[in-house]
Amino acid sequence: MNLIGDILLVIGCAFIALGSLGLIRMPDVYNRLQAGTKAATLGAMSVLLGIGFHHPDWWAKLLVIAGFVLFTNPVGSSTIARACRKTGMEPKRLGKKLEIEP
Amino acid sequence: MTLSLLQLVAVALLILAIGLSAVRLFLGPSTADRVVAADTLAVITTAGLAGLAAIFDNPIYLDIALVYGTLAFVGTVAIARALEGNRP
């Protein structure tokens, strides 16, 4: 039981770290939004599930936190994307650039 | 209490994630980049507070994680709405 919880913790923390790496590597606000929000949400789910395997009597609070993260994080992400779109921030187009430069 | 090897790996990955997000928070070119980085940092902090509850064996940190998640969500939505400008 503890081994399953530890493996879930490592998987979740790896997903969170890869999402933060995407936050550094991606070229654009929209791509950074995708990488940061979705990978970090999945990683947080896995971390909470792993803690639930370690302490089975905390499942109610962990379920409340997991549901809260699962419902509020896409709302915040879409609100930021909507604000970027409304202020006229253009997505980066790699294809057009390759067409023009050579 | 002592942590096992896999738990130490998990803590190291979480610290790496916090560092990478903080780099994007400090040198993001636009304000939206910083808001995205702060949102990601809030999720990482929520997961980290839940892990802190497991480390200290004290379920009061789960309540702190829930309240922190609520306040971070309200702050993110407020800043995004303010970035959007004045609407009718």
Q: Which domain holds residue B60?
A: 50-88
Q: Which domain holds residue A15?
A: 2-100
Query: pTM (2 decimals)?
Result: 0.88
> How much is the pLDDT for A10?
93
Identity of the amino acid at A42:
L
In a domain, residue B56? The reply is yes
In a domain, residue B16? The reply is no
Q: How many domains does chain B have?
A: 1
Q: Nearest-CA residue of chain A relative to B80?
A: A80
> How much is the pLDDT for A91?
78
Q: Is the ipTM of this complex over 0.90?
A: no
Asked whether the beta carbons of residue A79 and residue B85 sit closer than 8 angstroms, the reply is: no
Q: Give the residues of chain B that fall short of pLDDT 50.
A: none
In a domain, residue B15? The reply is no
In a domain, residue B34? The reply is no
> How much is the pLDDT for B88?
53
In a domain, residue B11? The reply is no
* Dist. CA B24–CA A24, nearest whole Å: 6
* Dist. CA B86–CA B40, nearest whole Å: 26
Residue B12 CA: distances (Å) to CA of A93, B17, B27: 35, 9, 23
Q: Where would I find the H helices in A26-102?
A: 29-54, 59-86, 94-100
DSSP per-residue letters across A12-39: HHHHHHHHHHHHHH-SSHHHHHHHHHHH
Q: Give the residues of chain A that fall short of pLDDT 50.
A: 100-102
Taking only the tens place, the pLDDT of each residue in A19-48 is: 999 999 888 888 889 888 999 999 999 999
> How much is the pLDDT for A89?
77
> How much is the pLDDT for B1?
66
In a domain, residue B76? The reply is yes
Residue A21 CA: distances (Å) to CA of A6, A102, B34: 22, 31, 15
Which residues numbered 39-78 in B keep a CB inside 8 Å of some CB on A?
39-40, 43-44, 46-47, 50-51, 53-54, 59, 62-63, 65-66, 69-70, 73, 76-77
Contacts of B71 in chain A (CB under 8 A): none
Q: Residue B10: name the closest of A40, A10, A5 by CA.
A: A10
Asked whether the beta carbons of residue A72 and residue B69 sit closer than 8 angstroms, the reply is: yes
> How much is the pLDDT for B69?
92
Q: How many domains does chain A have?
A: 1
Tokens describing residue A79: 């609100």
Distance from CA of A95 to the nearest CA of B (A): 22
> How much is the pLDDT for B19?
93
In a domain, residue B68? The reply is yes
